[in-house]
A and B are shown apart, each in its own frame.
Chain A
Amino acid sequence: MSTNPSSPPSPSSDLFRPNRQLSKWVELVVKYIFAAFALISVATTIGIVLTLIFETVEFFGDVPLWRFLTDREWTPRFVNPQYGIFVLISATLLTSAIAISVALPIGLLAAICLSEYAPPKVRSWLKPALEILAGVPTVVFGYFALLLVTPFLQNFIPALQGFNALSAGLVLGVSIIPLVASLSEDAIYAIPGSLRQGAYALGATKRETIVGVVLPSALSGIVASFVLAISRAIGETMIVTIAAGQNPQMGLNPFVPVMTMTAYIVQASLGDTPAGSLAYRTLFAVGMTLFLLTLVLNIFSFWFVRKFRETYE
C-alpha cells in the first residue's frame, strides 16, 4: 500500500524511460562530430594554401623568383630550362578575355530577359534548359570547340590554326553563360517591384526602368556574378587544354596555339612528375599563380559587394 501513490505513473514509466544522462552525451557527441565535419571545409582551404606554399617555396629554391617573373619563354623540359610564367599568364588572360566578352553581355541580357520579359511559364522552361547547359561536362565543350567550332571558323578566317585561343575562348564563354545568367537573375529578381513602379510613374519606359533603375540597384549582385564567371574562365581546364593547344608562347594572337596555366598543369601531370622533382614543384608554382589570381578577384568581389550592396524591404 505504501507504493500506491507512486503506482499510477509506473506503467507509463515502463514504456518511457528517459535516460537523460545518455541523451546529454549523445547530444554533445553529435554536436561536436558535426562541427568537425563543418571544419573540414576550412581545413580544405588551409590544406590548399599550405601545400601550394610549401612546394612553391621549394620551387623558388631551385628557380629564383626574378627568373620566374622575367624569363621570356616557358621551356621547363629543355636542357636550358626557362620559367617565364607570363607566357602562360598571357595565354590564360587571352582565352579568358575572349570568354568573358562573350559570357558577360549574353549572360546579363539573358538574366534581364528571364526576370523582366519572359512570362512565368516560359521562364519555368528556360531556366532548367540553361541549367542543362551548365551541367554539360567541360570535356564535351572541348570536343565541340576543337572539332566543330574551329573548322567552322576556318571558313571565315583562313589564318586560324587547328589549335587556337579564339574558338577555345568562344566555347569557354558559352560554357559560363548559365553561371552569369543564373546569378545575375537572382540579383535582379530580388529588386522589389516598388522601385520599378516608381520609375514607371515618372514616365520611364520598360527599358529605361531596367537600365536606369533595376540594373544599378542590382549592381553588387551582378558584379559578384561577373567576378565568379571571370575566375571560372581563368581556372577552366579541359576546354583550353583540348582546343587551345599546348604551345607555350608569349603574345596575344588568338589565331595560333597557346598554352594556358591550366593546360600546362594537365600536360605535365600526364607526363612523368615524380614527387620531389623540379617538374613536380613547377606544377605547384603554376598552381599557386593560378590560385593567387582567383584569390585577388575573390577579394575584390567581396570588397565590392560589401561597399555597394543595397538592401530593400
Chain B
Amino acid sequence: MTSKEPKLFANESSESDSLFKASLPFRYNLDKVFAIVTWAATLSGLIVLGILLIDILIDGFSRLDWSFITSYPSRRAASAGILSPLVGSIWILVVTALIAFPLGVGAGIYLEEYSNDNWFTRLVEINIANLAAVPSIIYGLLGLQVFVRWFQPITNGRSILSGALTLALLILPIIIIGTREALRTVPSSLRQAGFALGATRWQVIREHVFPLALPGILTGTILALSRAIGETAPLIVIGALTFITFLPSISPQGLQSPFTVLPIQIYDWVSRPQVEFHNNAASGIIVLMLLLLVMNATAIFLRNKFQKSR
C-alpha cells in the first residue's frame, strides 16, 4: 500500500503537467507568429491593390490622350474613344443623384426625427438591412420589368431615365443609412432649444438640424454615388447599349435617349480578343478610377471640414 501512494502522486502530477503547459517561450513565439500572420493578411490586400493599379497604369497609359476622351467608340481600336460612355456615365450620375438624394434624405429624416420605435420603423429597418444583401443584378431585373416595360411611356424603354431610376433604388439604402448617421451626430440640445422657442419639428429640422448634418449627408451620398458609377451588371440587364455614337441632348428629351456608360464600354473592350482593345479597356479604367478619385476626395474633404467645424 505504501509503495503505491507515491506512484499515484507521481502519476497525478505528470497528468496535470500534460494538461497545463506553462512553457512561456513556446507560447510567446506562437504569439509572434500569429501577429506576423495578421499583418501579412492585412498587407496582402494592399499589395494586390498596388499590383492592380500599376498593371493598369502600364497597360493603359500609352493610349491615354485627349483624342481618346473626345472620340466615339469605334470598331478600330486605335481610333476608339470614350466620349459617349463618359458623357453617359455623367448623365446617369447626375440623374441618379437628383432622384436618390431627396428620397434617401427624406426617408432618413423620417426614420431618425419623426418616427417612434413602432412596427413601421422596424419593418423599414429590417428591410433596408435585407436590401444590402440583394445582388445588384437583381435590381437590374426589377428595373427591366418595372421601368423598361411598365413605365415605357414615361421612360421610353431602355433609356437614361430607366438606368438612373434603377441605380437610385440600388443606392437608396446606403443614402438612408448615411443620412441617419449624420443626423445622429447633431446634439439633441439643439432640437430642444428650437422646440422651446416654439418652432415646429419641421422648422427645427429645416433651420438647424439639417444644415448641421448636411456635410455628413453629402459625404454619404457621394460614397453611394461612387458605387453607382462603378455598377455594370444592372445597366447591362436593363439594356444599355455598348455602341453609341451620339450624345443625348441636354434637355428633358435627353432623359429618354439610349445610353452607355464607362464600365459597360470597359467590359465590351475586355471581352474582345485583341490586345489593342485590352489596352483601350485599361485606359478607360484609368479614366473611371480618376472620376472615382475626384468623388472620393470630395467626400473626404467634406468629412474633414465637418469634423473640424464641430
Q: Is A66 an interface residue (CB 8 A)?
A: no
Q: Is A157 an interface residue (CB 8 A)?
A: no
Q: Is B69 an interface residue (CB 8 A)?
A: no
In the complex, are the beta carbons of B296 and A135 less than 8 A apart?
yes
CB of B250 to closest CB in A, whole Å: 26
* Contacts known (A139-B270, A237-B232, A242-B271); A113 close to B172, Cβ less than 8 A: no
Q: Is B189 an interface residue (CB 8 A)?
A: no
* Contacts known (A23-B200, A42-B124, A177-B45); A290 close to B137, Cβ less than 8 A: yes
For the complex, give the distance between the alpha carbons of A236 and B145 in Å: 21
Q: Is A67 an interface residue (CB 8 A)?
A: no
Considering the complex, which residues of chain B in the window 202-223 have a beta carbon less than 8 Å from any beta carbon of chain A? Answer: 202-203
In the complex, are the beta carbons of B27 and A208 less than 8 A apart?
yes
Q: Is A44 an interface residue (CB 8 A)?
A: yes
Q: Which A residues touch B271, using CB under 8 A?
A: 242
Query: Residue A284 contacts which of B35, B141, B172 (CB distance < 8 angstroms)?
Result: B141
Of A7-15, A83-91, A124-132, A247-255, the one contacting chain B is A124-132
Considering the complex, which residues of chain A in the window 129-161 have a beta carbon less than 8 Å from any beta carbon of chain B? Answer: 129-130, 132-133, 135-144, 146-148
In the complex, are the beta carbons of B169 and A266 less than 8 A apart?
no
Q: Is A47 an interface residue (CB 8 A)?
A: yes
Binding site of B, secondary structure by majority: helix, strand, loop or mixed? helix
For the complex, give the distance between the alpha carbons of A178 and B236 in Å: 26
Query: Residue A110 contacts which of B34, B42, B110 (CB distance < 8 angstroms)?
Result: B42
In the complex, are the beta carbons of A262 and B41 less than 8 A apart?
no
Query: Residue A262 contacts which of B34, B233, B266, B267 (CB distance < 8 angstroms)?
Result: B233
For the complex, give the distance between the alpha carbons of A129 and B43 in Å: 10
In the complex, are the beta carbons of B46 and A133 less than 8 A apart?
yes
Q: Which B residues touch A45, using CB under 8 A?
A: 127, 130-131
Q: Is B103 an interface residue (CB 8 A)?
A: yes
Considering the complex, which residues of chain B in the window 109-128 have a beta carbon less than 8 Å from any beta carbon of chain A? Answer: 109-111, 114-115, 120, 123-124, 127-128
In the complex, are the beta carbons of A106 and B230 less than 8 A apart?
no
* Chain A residues within 8 Å of chain B by Cβ, number: 88
Q: Is B237 an interface residue (CB 8 A)?
A: yes
Query: Residue A143 contacts which of B130, B132, B146, B285 (CB distance < 8 angstroms)?
Result: B285
In the complex, 19 of the A-B residue pairs with CB atoms within 8 angstroms, ordered by the A residue number, are A26-B200, A30-B202, A37-B106, A37-B107, A45-B127, A106-B41, A106-B44, A135-B226, A138-B230, A139-B267, A140-B230, A140-B289, A146-B270, A207-B31, A210-B34, A237-B137, A266-B236, A269-B236, A287-B138
Contacts A130-B42, A143-B270 given; 8 further ones with Cβ under 8 A? A34-B106, A40-B103, A41-B131, A48-B139, A54-B145, A208-B31, A210-B34, A265-B141
Task: Give 10 nearest A-B pairs by CB, closest first.
Answer: A235-B135, A137-B230, A109-B41, A34-B110, A113-B38, A237-B233, A37-B106, A38-B107, A37-B107, A51-B145
